[in-house]
Amino acid sequence: MAILDIIYYPDKRLRTIAKPVKKVDDDIKKLVDDMFETMYVAPGIGLAATQVNVHKQVIVIDVSEHKDQPLCLINPVIIAEEGSESSDEGCLSVPEIYETVQRAAKVTVKAMDQNGDEFTLQADEMLAVCIQHEMDHLVGKLFVDYLSPLKLQRLKKRLLKNMREEQRALG
Ligand code: GNR
Ligand code: NI
């Protein structure tokens, strides 16, 4: 296994549209393993292939408390959604920034797992948020895209400040 490099906003590569996976072969299985390792090390509750600069429709998620419920979604499609809910979101590609985002409260998603088997999953709460957040990555969308222009401007200033502080800390 290997830990993959995560790319950071405003990197244009995060805007790439991911392509469907044609066949869940050994290369895809290795990608999934590496993405799980990268997500657990980060640590994060989800990771989209887009974030490691692989533009295929592959997502890994684990929202469990003990990090023992890995979930892989390949070529995911939302087939039903219900309600709406606001929650605070963060993103490994936008470090240390948390903002409130409104999304569907419940989603039903159809996807393939890491063995290429199709499954349907009903999700609510954190899992529903995470699935929608990760599926956005696959179409080049980030949670910051939902913010008002004023909030986005403030966020950019904060990011610049964080970057400068990090540079200073590195000497
Ligand atoms: O680790 C993550 N936490 C998180 C918190 C609230 C809403 C969404 C997320 S996903 C994020 C990992 C990530 O960036 N996935 O793309
Ligand atoms: Ni993210």
Distance, CA 48 to ligand 2 centroid (Å)?
A: 7
6 lies in a domain?
no
Torsional sign, CA 42, 64, 14, 20? positive
For residue 13, what pLDDT is reported? 98
Q: Which of 64, 69, 34 is nearest to 49 (CA)?
A: 34
Distance, CA 12 to ligand 2 centroid (Å)?
A: 14
Domain range for 25 is: 12-170
Q: Report how many domains make up the chain.
A: 1
For residue 45, the ligand 1 atom closest to its alpha carbon is 1
For residue 171, what pLDDT is reported? 84
For residue 54, what pLDDT is reported? 99
3 lies in a domain?
no
4 lies in a domain?
no
Ligand 1: which residue has its CA nearest to atom 16? 47
Distance CA 43, CA 102 (A): 23
53 lies in a domain?
yes
Per-residue pLDDT of the chain (171 residues; tens, 9 = 90+): 899 999 999 999 999 999 999 999 999 999 999 999 999 999 999 999 999 999 999 999 999 999 999 999 999 999 999 999 999 999 999 999 999 999 999 999 999 999 999 999 999 999 999 999 999 999 999 999 999 999 999 999 999 999 899 889 988
Q: Which of 149, 161, 1 is nearest to 95 (CA)?
A: 161
Distance, CA 150 to ligand 1 centroid (Å)?
A: 22
138 lies in a domain?
yes
121 lies in a domain?
yes
The residues that bridge with 120 in the sheet, in sequence order, are: 110
* CATH number, residue 72: 3.90.45.10
Ligand 1: which residue has its CA nearest to atom 7? 89
Active centre residues (catalytic):
134
For residue 146, what pLDDT is reported? 98
What is the 3-class SS of 110-125, one letter each residue?
Answer: EEECCCCCEEEEEEEH
